[in-house]
């Protein structure tokens, strides 16, 4: 009688399986190994008792008679000559987003935008190699697990544009329909986006609608879990929407006040510069041959002029490139629109992010001072003017001097 092949259940390849059985049945490692061997023997015994019959051999097909077409000549063609390709290319998001939709869990809408689906098309799928243990009614079974990971380029819903939101909703609803969402849930979600689009057409603030969408949809997915209090997402809460509009209006007013104060300070410094220019013009009126004595010269004029060596344009471009307040990198990219989720060296997640208007906000939603984290610096002192480093959170320096930032290469390294 045939016996099953001997398996080394104590090997490294079965570590995860043994650990899962130990946690499931609260047994020792020897008992877990015995259970694995018993499952293997039972599966082998069932295969011997109920073998699969070989497929039947089809009878030979007689050759067609003369002047008679073959039997499959009248079959329907495999293509329709009157049908062309669709007007739009179907969009498929990452496996991570599909897994979330199957479980009716919240996932950022960015995965269903054109950018998110484009990244999915460029990402090569990985073969499932993780082996897990599944507890069934007839015993334990082995199952392959595919670990889907989120994208590092994903953008949270609060930072999406209105165009991205309106484009991604179609892919989201179609994918939910494919994975068996109930008609009532799909109808509420579709009507929710229709109502948002109607409010936008009535002149409501698009940024407030984007924040409302992010807040409500996140709560709605949490309410879809068993035992939670569910609500109809299609019903627009006017009080919540008005509160978000007031927050945006107050923030815009504060930004405007800061800009006016900055312009006023520049005008004051410009008036002092005009006095200096008039002094220089009076000096030129004395003539080229008459110069002031050493006693009448200012201390700045007494300092001998020094000549500095000018580096090459390539060296200056590298050495003067500022640090991005979001990813803390010096690489060539749009710093004002940086949406990186990890630092320049992928060591950890970013502390802050950029809004659609280019403002710097931390994970708590606070708006940090932009000039403080740039090379220009900031000396303004307002009650809500936050001077914190966007990279580490300290108030002693900005992003340009953050120890986590990418170091600027030396002039010698740039020339070489």
Q: Judge whether 213 lies within some domain.
A: yes
Are 401 and 343 part of one and the same domain? yes
Q: How far apart are CA 210 and CA 364, in angstroms?
A: 17
| Residue 198, pLDDT score | 94
Question: What's the rounded Cα separation, in Å, for the pair 171 and 234?
Answer: 18
DSSP per-residue string spanning 31-82: HHHHHHHHHHHHHHHHHHHSPPPPPPPPPPPPPPPTT---GGGGSPPSS-TT
100 and 177 both lie in a single domain = yes
pLDDT per residue as tens, the chain (416 positions): 556 666 777 777 777 777 777 777 778 888 888 888 887 777 656 655 555 555 565 665 565 555 555 555 455 557 778 888 877 667 788 889 999 999 999 999 999 999 988 888 776 554 444 545 555 555 555 554 555 688 888 999 999 999 999 999 999 999 999 999 999 999 999 999 999 999 999 999 999 999 999 999 999 999 988 888 889 999 999 999 999 999 988 888 888 888 888 888 777 666 555 555 555 555 555 555 555 554 555 555 544 554 444 444 444 444 467 899 999 999 888 888 898 999 999 889 999 999 888 889 988 888 888 888 988 888 776 656 688 999 999 988 999 999 999 988 765 554 54
d(CA 122, CA 112): 15
User: Do 26 and 112 fall within a single domain?
Assistant: no
Inside any domain, residue 23: yes
| CA geometry: angle 327, 92, 224, nearest 5 deg | 85
The answer to whether residues 37 and 100 belong to one domain is no
Residue 287: what pLDDT? 52
What gap in Å lies between CA 89 and CA 85, rounded to an integer?
9
| Total domains present in the chain | 3
Burial 258-278, CB ≥16 within 10 A → b, else e: beeeeeeeeeeeeeeeeeeee
My answer on whether 340 and 234 are in the same domain is no
Strand partners, 145: 130
**CA-CA distance, 383 to 355, in Å (whole number)?**
22
Please report whether residue 274 resides in a domain.
no
For residue 77, what pLDDT is reported? 58
Query: Does 122 lie in the same domain as 39?
Result: no
Q: Which of 240, 268, 302 is the last residue of a domain?
A: 240
Q: Are residues 112 and 199 in the same domain?
A: yes
Domain boundary among 240, 261, 291: 240
Instruction: Based on the fold, state whether residues 179 and 107 are members of the same structural domain.
Output: yes
Q: Note the pLDDT of residue 312.
A: 45
pTM > 0.85: yes or no: no
Q: Verify that 212 and 329 share a domain, yes or no.
A: no
Residue 289 lies in a domain: no
Residue 197 domain-assigned (yes or no): yes
Asked if residue 172 is part of any domain, the answer here is: yes
pLDDT of amino acid 36: 80
Is residue 63 a part of any domain in this protein? no
Helix (H, G, I), strand (E, B) or coil at 249: helix
Q: What tokens appear for 350 in the block?
A: 């970013």
* Two tokens, residue 95: 């496996």
Residue 328 and residue 235 in one domain: no
Ramachandran class of 346: left when φ > 0, alpha when ψ lies in -120 to 50, beta otherwise:
left
* Closest to 222 in 3D by CA, of 107, 111, 116, 109: 107
Q: Choose one of 198, 221, 240: the last residue of a domain.
A: 240
What the block records as the tokens of 344 is 């320049």
Quickly count: other Cβ atoms within 10 Å of residue 320's Cβ. Answer: 11
Domain that holds residue 356: 323-407
Domain co-membership, 236 together with 346: no
Asked if residue 101 is part of any domain, the answer here is: yes
Domain match, 228 and 342 both: no
């Amino acid at each position: 009688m045939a016996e099953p092949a001997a398996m080394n259940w104590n090997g490294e390849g079965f570590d995860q399986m043994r650990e899962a059985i130990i946690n499931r049945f609260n047994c020792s490692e020897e008992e877990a190994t015995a259970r694995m061997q018993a499952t293997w023997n039972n599966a082998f015994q069932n295969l011997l008792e109920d073998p699969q019959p070989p497929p039947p051999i089809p009878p030979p097909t007689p050759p067609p008679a003369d002047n008679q077409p073959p039997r499959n000549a009248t079959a329907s063609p495999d293509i329709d000559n009157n049908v062309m390709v669709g007007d739009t290319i179907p969009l498929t998001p990452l496996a991570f987003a599909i897994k979330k939709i199957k479980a009716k869990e919240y996932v950022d809408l960015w995965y269903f935008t054109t950018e998110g689906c484009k990244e999915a098309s460029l990402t090569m799928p990985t073969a499932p190699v993780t082996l897990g243990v599944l507890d069934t009614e007839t015993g334990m079974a082995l199952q392959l697990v595919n670990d889907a990971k989120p994208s590092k380029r994903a953008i949270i819903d609060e930072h999406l544009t209105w165009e991205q939101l309106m484009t991604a909703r179609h892919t989201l609803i179609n994918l939910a329909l494919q994975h068996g969402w109930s008609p009532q849930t799909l109808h509420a979600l579709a009507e929710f986006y229709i109502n948002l689009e109607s409010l936008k057409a009535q002149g409501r603030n698009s940024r407030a609608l984007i924040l409302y969408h992010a807040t409500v949809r996140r709560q709605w997915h949490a309410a879809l879990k068993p035992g939670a209090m569910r609500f109809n997402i299609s019903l627009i809460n006017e009080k919540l929407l008005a509160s978000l509009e007031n927050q945006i209006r107050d923030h815009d007013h504060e930004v405007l006040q800061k800009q006016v104060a900055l312009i006023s300070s520049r005008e004051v410094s410009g008036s002092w510069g005009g006095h200096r220019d008039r002094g220089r013009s009076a000096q030129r009126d004395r003539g080229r041959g008459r110069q002031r004595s050493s006693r009448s010269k200012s201390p700045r004029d007494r300092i001998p002029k020094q000549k500095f060596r000018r580096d090459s344009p390539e060296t200056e471009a590298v050495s003067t490139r500022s640090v991005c307040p979001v990813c803390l990198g010096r690489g060539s990219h749009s710093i004002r629109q940086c949406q990186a989720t990890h630092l320049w060296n992928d060591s950890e997640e970013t502390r802050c992010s950029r809004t659609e208007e280019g403002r710097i906000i931390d994970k708590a939603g606070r708006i940090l001072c932009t000039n403080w984290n740039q090379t220009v610096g900031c000396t303004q002192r307002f009650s809500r003017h936050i001077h914190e480093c966007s990279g580490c959170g300290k108030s002693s320096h900005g992003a340009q001097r953050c120890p986590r930032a990418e170091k600027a290469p030396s002039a010698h390294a740039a020339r070489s």
